[in-house]
Chains A and B, each alone.
Chain A
Amino acid sequence: MKIISVLVLLLSVYAFPQSEKMKWGKSDYSYSIESTEYGRDYSINFENPVNAVAKSFINAYWFLISDLDGDNCPFHPSCSAFFVDAVEESNIVTGTLLFFDRFTRDASIVGRYNRYPKHKSGRLYDPAYLYYPGSAAYIPPSKVIDKE
């Protein structure tokens, strides 16, 4: 009889649970640390020969120098990736000017951690699109950028 009573009690609880329990229940949480290493894209687009030549130089630099030298650039994207983006998204002239300006910013080591927003990888977020003439944009340094 005792067992039946307990069973009735338990069954009634399990048979009519609150629907909200499912709706507002805790979500599964993953404690694994997300990788922030991004693979390099060595592909070359031959539609634009000038860009293809520039990308070939960068590929050679990545393969022969950068990969051996190590992951040292404080910025995201790195200076070489910045050059590739700048050339692809604008043109070789603007891209080159943007690259040399970025290089000056890279060499300027005083106070830069207070000037740039942070990328989730821990680097300073400084993509090329922020520096195009018509669409230059300001992102406050307090922001953490969550996208690649």
Chain B
Amino acid sequence: MIRIFLFVIISINFGYSQNFHSPENRKLFADYLFCSEDYLRAVIEYEEYMKYYNNDTILFKIAFGYSKIEKYNRAAELFNKISIQSDFYYRARSEYLKSLLLAENFESFTSIDSNEASITELKLINSAYLFNGLKLPDKNEFLLPFSDSEKNEMLKFYEFKKESPYKSPLLAGIFSTVVPGSGKLYTNQISEGLTSLVLNGLFAFLSYNNFKNDHPTRGWIFAGVGAFFYAGNIYGSAVSANIYNQRVDYEYKENVKVFLETHNYFIERYEFCK
């Protein structure tokens, strides 16, 4: 019994002689979390480690972790802190631009000097033109940094951005003024357009039929309700064109994002966890 008691006491003492919260052990734990793709906890552990040691690799991993957990502004801020002496400097610059893209912070791209940019950075800078409202550069200049396999897709995005297939709200309104519902058909709202045509036709017929059969009160009621449907449809068609244009923009941006994501934003993948 004494042996068991001693074993327990010794085990406890041995257990507590290990400092699990030392910076080195925190780093080991953080590496494990990072490689398990538990970036949120890995970032917290790495930040604890950084209180004791300054390390560019760890700073890069923290920024990378923030990017993975979609805190892009914080990630960009940290990538920007990596010094030019670091081995990670050029990677960090690319990751910085990627974070700006993901944070939709397109204004920051205007202050970047593209003369000093690497090919990857140029690709990211040019990709930003596909999102922001700035004037697109010349087609050849835009496509220059991209490889042959990327050019085709980027050219499609470029041309789509240059001449987006928008619908005119004015034209949609005019169409619906001439033929009720046709403005909605113009904006691809087929079902709503046909419903509007039927409703307007129905109220016009009811009004006409009541006037014809000497029921002017009912005739005016149907005419009044029909007029509201008619005016509402003109207004709705114009708004529908606006919404259509926003949908075009949304789907275009989603397609660009998917393309960039599948190409990992033109950045080579890292092997931190072999």
Residues of A within 8 A of B (CB): 1-2, 4-5, 8-9, 12, 16, 24, 94, 96-101, 103-105, 107-112, 130-133, 136-138, 140
* Alpha-carbon distance between A16 and B18 when the two chains are bound, in angstroms: 13
- CB B229 to nearest CB in A, in angstroms, measures 5
List of A residues within 8 angstroms of B232 by Cβ:
96-101, 103-104
Chain B, residue nearest A19 (CB): B21
Report Cα–Cα, A137/B192, bound state, in Å: 18
Shortest C-beta distance, A125 to chain B (Å), equals: 14
Nearest first, the 10 A-B pairs at minimum CB distance are: A100-B232, A101-B236, A138-B246, A108-B195, A136-B242, A97-B235, A110-B191, A101-B232, A1-B1, A108-B192
Q: Are A140 and B192 in contact (CB under 8 A)?
A: no
* A interface footprint on B194-237 (CB within 8 Å = 1, 0 otherwise): 11100100000000000000000000000000001101110110
CA distance A137 to B243 in the complex (A): 6
A104 & B41 in contact (Cβ 8 Å cutoff): no
Contact assessment for B231 and A100 in the assembled complex, using a CB-CB cutoff below 8 Å: yes
Provided the pairs A136-B242, A138-B246, A138-B250 are in contact, do residues A104 and B233 lie with their beta carbons within 8 angstroms? yes
19 contacts between A and B (CB under 8 A): A1-B1, A1-B5, A4-B5, A8-B9, A12-B8, A97-B228, A98-B235, A98-B236, A100-B231, A100-B236, A101-B233, A104-B195, A104-B229, A104-B233, A108-B191, A110-B191, A131-B239, A133-B242, A138-B250
CA distance A107 to B233 in the complex (A): 13
The 8 Å CB contact of B1, one of A5, A96, A97, is: A5
Tell yes or no: B84 within 8 A of A by CB: no
Contact of B192 among A16, A105, A130, A138 (CB under 8 A): A105
Task: Establish whether residues A137 and B246, one from each chain, have CB atoms under 8 Å apart when the complex forms.
Answer: yes
Residues on A with beta carbons closer than 8 Å to the beta carbon of B243: 130-131, 136-138
CB-contact partner of A5 in B8, B194, B231, under 8 A: B8
Min CB distance B240 to A, Å, is 8
Query: How far is A100 from B2 in the complex, measured between Cα atoms in Å?
Result: 89
Q: How far is the CA of A98 from the CA of B16 in the complex (A)?
A: 71
Residue ID in chain B nearest A132 by CB atoms: B239
Known contacts A12-B12, A98-B235; A111/B191 CB under 8 A: yes
Task: Give the distance in Å from the alpha carbon of A35 to the alpha carbon of B8 in the complex.
Answer: 54
Partner of B250, one of A100, A109, A111, A140: A140
| Interface contact B235-A107, CB-CB below 8 Å | no
Contact of B247 among A9, A109, A138 (CB under 8 A): A138
Q: Is B250 touching A9 in the complex (CB atoms < 8 A)?
A: no
Q: Are A16 and B250 in contact (CB under 8 A)?
A: no
Q: Please tell me if the beta carbons of B250 and A107 are within 8 angstroms of each other in the complex.
A: no
Contacting residues, chain A, for B235 (C-beta < 8 A): 94, 97-98, 101
Contacts of B229 in A (CB 8 A): 100, 103-104
Say yes or no: is B4 at the interface (Cβ < 8 Å to chain A).
Answer: yes
Residues of A within 8 A of B8 (CB): 5, 8-9, 12
